[in-house]
Structure 1
Amino acid sequence: MDCQKIIKTLKHKDFIKVTNTGKCFENGAAIYAKEIKDNIFLLFVILKDIDIENIQALIAHFDCFNSIGIKEPEQIMFYFSIKDKDDLHYFEQYLEAANN
């Protein structure tokens, strides 16, 4: 699975691309978010250059959907950084296990 495939999967799974105008995430990062519980969001942050070493996944609490990409999260409950192909491999296995 490469970054382009991840982006296609996120769009297919009803993730919404969020405009990044704040200072919480790196300038030029693409943010894809999906609410999983009241004001708890699953986010994927992918840097503009679409390099495998620049993907982050997190579960965070925001005061509302519109504050994502503008304000800092109120709480980060889970954070995963994909830094190499082994990380991506383990993440794929986690996703497959979560779907079963």
Structure 2
Amino acid sequence: MKSKYMDCQKIVKTLKHTDFVKVSHTGKCFEDGAAIYAKEIRENIFLLFIILKDIDIENIQALIAHFDCFSSIGLKEPEQIMFYLSIKDKNDLHYFEQYLRASHN
């Protein structure tokens, strides 16, 4: 039987191979110890994956947000959040993939 839980290491490897950049964060926007991966999808609109590692279950947050520039990610709050999803199992990840496909049409 396949696990319903995600393999965060596999997801991180996928992010690195699809032009996501790991962002260091020094502001108060994200939890301490979170790994943040970002990719610009339109001018100043970014797709972010925030991987939280401090808790018992792996938790990934996905968001599409507007920042004034790439370098402000991790320093400032986003100017606008257009989409947010907390991904805690493979079903959540499946819903997110469906959302991304629909947003390209």
TM-score category of the 2 structures, normalised to the smaller one: 0.7 to 0.9
1:61 aligns with 2:73: no
2:26 matched to which residue of 1? 21
Instruction: Identify the residue that residue 3 of structure 2 maps to in structure 1.
Output: none
Aligned to 2:39: 34
Q: Is the CA contact (8 Å cut-off) linking 1:21 and 1:69 kept in structure 2?
A: yes
Q: Deviations over 1:44-99 (max 9, x none)?
A: 0001348654100000000000000110000000001012343234345x279569
Choose from 79, 83, 87 the match for 1:78: 83
1:6 equivalent among 11, 35, 57: 11
Q: Which runs of 4+ in 1 moved over 2 A?
A: 48-53, 83-86, 88-92, 94-99
Q: Between Structure 1 and Structure 2, whose CA radius of gyration is higher?
A: 2
Identity %: 82
> Structure 2 unaligned runs (5+)?
1-5
Calculate the aligned-residue CA RMSD, in Å. 2.4
Q: TM-score, normalised by structure 1?
A: 0.84
User: 3-state DSSP class of the match of 1:33?
Assistant: strand
Q: Compare the two structures and name the one with the higher helix fraction.
A: 1
Unaligned runs of 5+ in 1: none
